[in-house]
Amino acid sequence: MSRKLFGTDGVRGQANSWPMTADLALRLGAAAGRFFRSDGANGHRVVIGKDTRLSCYMLENALTAGLTSTGMNVLLLGPVPTPAVGYLTRSMRADLGIMISASHNAASDNGIKFFGPDGFKLSDEAEAAIEAIIESEIAPVPPLEIGRARRIEDGLGRYVEYAKTTLPRGLRLNGLKVVIDCANGAAYRAAPEVLWELGAEVIPVGVEPDGYNINRDVGSTSPRAAAETVVAHGADLGISLDGDADRVVIIDEKGQLADGDQIMALLASRWADGGRLKSGTLVATVMSNLGLERHLAGRGLRLERTAVGDRYVVERMRAGGFNLGGEQSGHIVMTDYATTGDGLIAGLQFLGAMVETGKKASELVRQFEPVPQLLKNVRFAAGQAPMELSTVRDAVREAETRLAGCGRLLIRMSGTEPLVRVMVECEDSQLMESIVDSLVQKIEAAL
């Protein structure tokens, strides 16, 4: 079944423009309600979380109206991290979980992500089925079967307590000074609280959301503020989350960054040493650095690659029975603990490694030497299909010929924004830059 509304991570767009309108959110809620209440019975429930964007109020109300009109009972969690919604959907025996967030995007964007009763994101087939319902006539339930909606006050507290349990019993963070950057997003309350209750001295950054400043000059995509704070305060570690806290970058005491590849390399090595890494395999996407693959191979471990998107990482992990995966961007998926990427819990795992090894962050953030990698984006207008243009296809073939035997080219459409992403990995940095710049210029000219 084909999908038009759903991308690699739910439905995304600019707030108050299609598809992120109140009208579409209402129909989306009603369609999801019909899909998950197909047996017609009462008592079905859905939990809804959100980040701190102003538009979340509008979309939350519209989704609630659509869901209750089809008989679903709605439990409103307020601002919580995306992984908290996955956890609470399963913990509270809900039939459906919804997160309203555009993740690392600007405040002007928003998105809607769905979780099934097992806490995992919906499959492509389930999303296509919901789209099919949207396109049909959605019959409301009789008046006496309309669902109820209420706010849940302890949802955040449940997640906070659970996150703390992911550290080994008895392990404390006493004596560690930690900068936590919450991107003025969904984790602005949860993350500092977890770290403080585990014993750390906490220096918060990006914890003053106003509806407009999510991800603005803070967070995992703009970690400079957190890095400067780490150095200025002499902190032991910085943890920088994105707007919905499902991704993370780590900052050592010198202000150096570790991306998702370096974090996964550390965790894979430690888990393998402890006999915890299932089948000796890490799952990552085609974007992960070749250096990571070489590092794992040197340790007798295996890297499996998937298409870009944490949902595809999780699908492969579940199919293969693997328990560690993620993306270079900082989605770290640990199915022993969470059903989706969890930046806070990944940060706790890094802190746990520091405590157990007695090493500084700077001794752990550089697990391997990355192969030089360059990524540039080309934005295109609605209705354009860059990858279908013959001039673009010819340019890609030419680039692959130039790179043959000495590197890797990846060119793809973003699943969340109207962007063509051009990435080249090559030991020859001059050749790498030449190929990327040439491709970008040719794509822009073709458009």
Residues 361-399 have pLDDT tens digits of 999 999 999 999 999 999 988 778 888 889 989 999 999
pLDDT at res. 39: 72
> In terms of residues, how long is the chain?
447
CB-CB neighbours of 38 under 10 Å: 11
pLDDT at res. 364: 97
CA dist 24 and 233 (Å) reads 46
**What single-letter amino acid sits at 217?**
D
Residue 310's alpha-carbon distances to 179, 287, 294, 325, 341, in angstroms, are 26, 12, 22, 9, 7
pLDDT at res. 446: 83
3-state secondary structure (DSSP) of residue 327: coil
Mean pLDDT of the residues in the chain = 94
Angle between helices 155-165 and 343-357 (to 10 degrees): 30
Do 189 and 319 lie in one domain? The reply is: no
Residues of the chain with pLDDT > 70, as a percent, come to 99
State which residues form the domain around 302: 258-363
CATH number at residue 344: 3.40.120.10
Average pLDDT in the 67-72 region?
96
Annotated catalytic residue within 55, 69, 101, 103: 103
3-state secondary structure (DSSP) of residue 98: strand
Q: How confident is the model at residue 2 (pLDDT cuts 50, 70, 90)?
A: low
3-state secondary structure (DSSP) of residue 11: strand
Do 117 and 215 lie in one domain? The reply is: no
Residues 434-444 have pLDDT tens digits of 999 999 999 98
Residues 136-166 have pLDDT tens digits of 989 999 999 999 999 999 999 999 999 999 9
pLDDT at res. 305: 96
Q: 220 an active-site residue?
A: no
Average pLDDT in the 60-85 region?
98
pLDDT over threshold 70, residue 238: yes
pLDDT at res. 386: 85
pLDDT over threshold 80, residue 40: no
pLDDT at res. 105: 95
Residues 74-129 have pLDDT tens digits of 999 999 999 999 999 999 999 999 999 999 999 999 999 999 999 999 988 999 99
Most confident of 167-171, 311-315, 322-326: 322-326
Residue 161's alpha-carbon distances to 84, 87, 155, 197, in angstroms, are 11, 12, 10, 10
Residue from 51, 57, 56 nearest 185 by CA: 51
Of 1-15, 256-270, 293-307, the one with minimum mean pLDDT is: 1-15
User: Does 20 map to a domain?
Assistant: yes
CATH number at residue 378: 3.30.310.50
Residues 335-369 have pLDDT tens digits of 999 999 999 999 999 999 999 999 999 999 999 99
User: Does 6 map to a domain?
Assistant: no
Residue 118's alpha-carbon distances to 92, 122, 131, 336, in angstroms, are 11, 10, 21, 14
Do 189 and 237 lie in one domain? The reply is: yes
Do 31 and 123 lie in one domain? The reply is: yes
pLDDT over threshold 60, residue 1: no
Could you give the number of structural domains in the chain? Answer: 4
Residues 271-292 have pLDDT tens digits of 999 999 999 999 999 999 999 9
DSSP tag of 136: S
Sheet holding 302-306, edge to edge: 302-306, 281-285, 324-326, 332-334
Do 283 and 242 lie in one domain? The reply is: no
Do 245 and 262 lie in one domain? The reply is: no
pLDDT at res. 70: 95
**What single-letter amino acid sits at 225?**
A
The token duo for 139 is 């019959």
User: Does 210 map to a domain?
Assistant: yes
User: Does 124 map to a domain?
Assistant: yes
Of the residues 256, 271, 286, which one is the last residue of a structural domain?
256
pLDDT at res. 91: 96
Element (H, E) at 160: helix 155-165
The token duo for 322 is 């693997």
